[in-house]
Amino acid sequence: MTAQGSRKLRLGVIFGGRSGEHEVSVVSAQHVMAAVDQSRFEVVPIGITKTGAWLTPEETQSQMDVPAAPFKKTLALRGAGGLLARPQALSVLSEIEVAFPVIHGPSGEDGTLQGLLELARVPYTGAGVAASAVGLDKALMKSLLHDAGLPVVEWIVVTRPEWEDDTKALTSNVEDEISYP
């Protein structure tokens, strides 16, 4: 109960994930959870391992309680990976009233997590599915901004196969098209 007598809102802080920014997400979540007004919100930590397995709040808290150097803490679960590996952990979505996604990079900041939350009818903070997807796709974002008449710096999209196929030719093309400052 809060000071006014009403119950606290259950806030699910979702963090970790499969991206290369897993550890940054964990640190970000620690800061978010420390900053939450405990008199208004009941924080429900929801960790996602590097293999994509969802942890229960109890498992998540247990791992968060283990001391680790900054940016070295990871969430793990032996033998389980992927979203559907542990449906019992996903059931926490039906127990929270709002989600606060703190996952960085792909499979979290790119609209996929937002889409899952919308399918589960869980309100969440931040941008929606389309804005998240467009925001993480830098080439698409620059094209949309350019097409809307907003100023953007010159850019060239480089795909991994292009880079791996002929780095020298690609570098020459970038130098010719954009040049150096």
Residue 86 has pLDDT above 90, yes or no: no
Most confident of 31-40, 70-79, 88-97: 31-40
- CA angle centred on 79, ends 76 and 84, rounded to 5°: 85
Does the domain at residues 9-136 carry the CATH identifier 3.40.50.20? yes
pLDDT tens readout for residues 127-142: 999 999 999 999 999 9
Q: How confident is the model at residue 118 (pLDDT cuts 50, 70, 90)?
A: very high
126 CB neighbour count, 10 Å cutoff? 13
Structural contact between residues 83 and 14, judged by C-beta atoms closer than 8 angstroms:
no
pTM of the model: 0.85
**Averaged pLDDT for residues 23-27:** 95
Structural contact between residues 26 and 16, judged by C-beta atoms closer than 8 angstroms:
yes
Residue 169 is predicted with a pLDDT of 92
What residue has token string 């009818």? 121
Report phi then psi at 96, rounded to 5.
-100, 160
Cα–Cα distance, 50 to 3 (Å, whole number): 39
Residue 79 has pLDDT above 80, yes or no: no
Give the residue extent of every domain in the chain: 9-136, 149-177
pLDDT tens readout for residues 108-117: 899 999 999 9
